[in-house]
Structure 1
Amino acid sequence: MVSVNLGVLHYVLDHIYCTILHRMKIGTPFFSKGWGGTNLELLERMVNQLFPNAASLAWPPAVIKPAWKTKWETNNACLKECSFATPCEEELVHALPPESRTARVAFLVPKSVPAEKMACVVHLAGTGDHTFERRLRLGAPLLKQNIATMVLESPYYGNRRPIMQRGSKLLCVSDLLLLGKATIDESRSLLHWLEAEAGFSKTGICGLSMGGVHAAMVGALHPTPVATLPFLAPHSAVVPFCEGLYQHVTAWDALKEDASHPLVKCNGEVTLEQVKEKLRSVLSLTDVTKFPVPKDPNAVIFVAATDDGYIPKHSVLELQKAWPGSEVRWVTGGHVSSFFLHGDAFRKAIVDGLNRLSWRKASP
């Protein structure tokens, strides 16, 4: 008999999925329009504004006033939606495409349960997740445990996708950074609303893949303890784009030829290695290990896959090392298969992370 190594199969499945979805030249690659600025100095200044050093990261969340509209309700649950202007700084709002400047949110909440006896988790989008449905399905079973689900539509995705962008392929490097900063600001404002206005006694933030990176950033920057639950997430955008499968679907030639960002030439021309090193330098500013430790690291639970073709094990372990007290849980599978097969493990991590938080006292 021929024995089959399931781990290898999961890993190969990730490569096949990436090939079919990204590498068959059906669409444009990532960053087909280059770096996204008029000169290198402008890009670097913008990046430093997006991800400042840890000493200046404790800015308070912007206050939002969401106006909810009920989409449907049953005897036990209600789904509401709202939109609001992104709370980013004015300079960054202008840098966002017009389509991305308005945030959209879905809110699935149990009925007939007071907010102070409920928890709520904000779910952030992974690469390619353009709708609410997938994350609502992940959170819906938690209603029975009085855990509400709030789903944020990412900038550059869904109804917020720029008209010239095809699918999830961001046109410029700066788009990836702007997406991250807007997601962080919007998520922190939503958490603040849940805590200060809606009266929820426990809150959390979770996400898969790219959404997991953003969830980790939000958990690190939020001023109050929240359950922080990154699923199938690297410690930095460097991992998928410079080391992982996305390096095969990145428009290296476009980055190389983008005259607005001149690089030092070697023997009269810019080398591919120089371009890769520049991208690594820019994306290293998304390294979550450089962010502050969350207020309650015991409520941080990473869920990672044993045979992930996108996210190597060392990347997950770097985050755990940077945040003492956090926990890593492993599920058997690859990046793609774990997403489809391990919803129960993700939900258990959500429940356990929330259980590690203390109930907030109601405001007088």
Structure 2
Amino acid sequence: MKKIVSVNIGMFHYVLDHVYGAFMHRTNLSTPFFSRGWGGTKLELLERMVTKLFPGVEGENWPPTIVQPIWKTIWESKTAILREGVFQSPCDEELFGALPPECHTARVSFLAPKSAPPQKMACVVHLAGTGDHTFERRLRLGGPLVKQNIATMVLESPFYGRRRPVLQQGAKLLCVSDLLLLGRVTIDEARSLLHWLDIEEGFGKMGICGLSMGGVHAAMVGSLHPTPIATLPFLSPHSATVAFCEGIMKYGTAWEALRKDLAVQMATEALTLEEVRERMRNVLSLTDVTRFPVPKKPDSVIFVAATDDGYIPKHSVLELQKAWPGSEVRWVTGGHVSSFILHNDEFRKAIRDGLDRLPWKESPQ
């Protein structure tokens, strides 16, 4: 009986993902992803630029440009302070030129405890999942950790929130190149913020986390960081290929627009849908985190995955754990959507445990 109940609950969560996905991706409420095609010369640029992040070259991109956010205080209490800051994206000049103007200025929210100096505290940078346009959800996730002297820094991704291009509806990126651009610039900005937290603020421990798409970016950032940090990807695939070619989001992708665009590029009408999907798999293979270096302290890498995730298949999570020996996978009961809502305590525990496995940074003499 217990096994039957468990199977039924798992099926409920899996079906919930599909119902939510049908509402979000199979209705005419908004345009699908990539309705304007591949991105032309921007895609060629991104394919070149993204490869700079691959194994063996991480040192070439370090140290990053040190950002100097302009801060304003949102509120302050006896125990904590919340500030918001803005800074110009520190990404490569070519990438900066490829960004829509709305994306040039980055925004960040910073919730820090006041009970100890930074050297005795940790800070975790939280990256956005698909459709997470504001700071609030990630601040709610990190907020209770203030009591454990863990600060939360939330980055607003390019193409999201106030950085959303005028012609873009919600989270539905217009071109495939936008997805790569969003990821590469997010990684550059997150690395610069971690450098700022380390050099300018002097935090004793640091981490990077994110849910879904944000988890993929967090894994990349943690992989490339030159010193040990906690790396915490939640409900995340090992590659964007899984999300758009295997999971529910494939139903929200403008395959016919991509087919027409590719046919023009190849000067042919005889293109089948499978050829278009193979092109997508090849392009998004650039986001395959198993091709990235193993983080400096693999036991501080904790994946949290859902047992009945309709967006992220189990094999994808296990592929990344296999590529990073020493990392840990924790399973929560639920689907992609329900786990966002129900399992914040498990996410917070993973953050605490990942940070606990790090040594404190030695204070300068």
Smaller-chain TM-score range?
Answer: over 0.9
More helix by share: 2
Question: In structure 1, how many angstroms separate the alpha carbons of the residues matched to 2:264 and 2:295?
Answer: 36
User: Which letter maps to 1:48?
Assistant: R
Q: Determine the structure 2 residue equivalent to 1:189.
A: 192
Question: In structure 1, how many angstroms separate the alpha carbons of the residues matched to 2:353 and 2:267?
Answer: 50
Question: In structure 1, how many angstroms separate the alpha carbons of the residues matched to 2:194 and 2:207?
Answer: 8
User: What aligned pairs does 1:143-158 form with structure 2 within 5 A after superposition?
Assistant: 143-158=146-161
Give the superposition deviation at 1:112: 3.6
Does residue 48 (structure 1) correspond to residue 48 (structure 2)? The answer is: yes
Does residue 159 (structure 1) correspond to residue 162 (structure 2)? The answer is: yes
Question: In structure 1, how many angstroms separate the alpha carbons of the residues matched to 2:149 and 2:334?
Answer: 30
Contact kept, 8 Å, 2:46 with 2:180, in 1: the verdict is: no
After TM superposition, the runs of 4+ consecutive aligned structure 1 residues lying more than 3 A away are: 1-4
User: What aligned pairs does 1:90-129 form with structure 2 within 5 A after superposition?
Assistant: 90-129=93-132
Q: Any idea what SS the aligned residue of 1:26 has?
A: coil
Q: Any idea what SS the aligned residue of 2:70 has?
A: coil
Q: Determine the structure 2 residue equivalent to 1:212.
A: 215
Question: In structure 2, how many angstroms separate the alpha carbons of the residues matched to 1:259 and 1:319?
Answer: 31
Question: In structure 2, how many angstroms separate the alpha carbons of the residues matched to 1:81 and 1:302?
Answer: 28
Question: In structure 1, how many angstroms separate the alpha carbons of the residues matched to 2:39 and 2:273?
Answer: 18
Q: Determine the structure 2 residue equivalent to 1:36.
A: 39
State, as a whole percentage, how many aligned pairs show the same letter. Answer: 68
Q: How many residues align?
A: 359
Question: In structure 2, how many angstroms separate the alpha carbons of the residues matched to 1:243 and 1:278?
Answer: 14
* Structure 1 residues 184 and 261: alpha-carbon distance in aligned structure 2, compared to 1, 3 A threshold: farther
Contact kept, 8 Å, 2:289 with 2:320, in 1: the verdict is: yes
Matching residue within 240, 246, 249 for 1:246: 249
Q: Any idea what SS the aligned residue of 1:51 has?
A: helix
Q: Which moved more, 1:164-173 or 1:14-23?
A: 14-23
Question: In structure 1, how many angstroms separate the alpha carbons of the residues matched to 2:14 and 2:263?
Answer: 38
Give the superposition deviation at 1:73: 0.5
Contact kept, 8 Å, 1:220 with 1:293, in 2: the verdict is: yes
Does residue 344 (structure 1) correspond to residue 345 (structure 2)? The answer is: yes
Q: Determine the structure 2 residue equivalent to 1:322.
A: 323
Give the superposition deviation at 1:99: 0.4
TM value normalised by structure 1 = 0.96
Q: Which runs of 5+ in 1 are unaligned?
A: none
Q: Determine the structure 2 residue equivalent to 1:274.
A: 275
Question: In structure 2, how many angstroms separate the alpha carbons of the residues matched to 1:294 and 1:78?
Answer: 31
**Deviations 1:294-345 (CA, angstroms, capped at 9, x unpaired):** 1111100000000000000000000000000000000000000011000000
Contact kept, 8 Å, 2:262 with 2:276, in 1: the verdict is: no
Question: In structure 2, how many angstroms separate the alpha carbons of the residues matched to 1:29 and 1:46?
Answer: 21
Q: Which runs of 5+ in 2 are unaligned?
A: none
**Deviations 1:22-45 (CA, angstroms, capped at 9, x unpaired):** 21121000000000114xxx6344
Q: Which moved more, 1:189-198 or 1:55-64?
A: 55-64
Q: Which moved more, 1:304-313 or 1:56-65?
A: 56-65
Question: In structure 2, how many angstroms separate the alpha carbons of the residues matched to 1:145 and 1:55?
Answer: 36
Does residue 69 (structure 1) correspond to residue 72 (structure 2)? The answer is: yes
Give the superposition deviation at 1:262: 2.1
Does residue 174 (structure 1) correspond to residue 211 (structure 2)? The answer is: no
Q: Determine the structure 2 residue equivalent to 1:291.
A: 292
Question: In structure 1, how many angstroms separate the alpha carbons of the residues matched to 2:101 and 2:361?
Answer: 38
Contact kept, 8 Å, 2:73 with 2:83, in 1: the verdict is: yes
Question: In structure 2, how many angstroms separate the alpha carbons of the residues matched to 1:92 and 1:185?
Answer: 10
Question: In structure 2, how many angstroms separate the alpha carbons of the residues matched to 1:8 and 1:56?
Answer: 43
TM value normalised by structure 2 = 0.96
Give the superposition deviation at 1:269: 1.1
Q: Determine the structure 2 residue equivalent to 1:15.
A: 18
Contact kept, 8 Å, 1:264 with 1:270, in 2: the verdict is: no
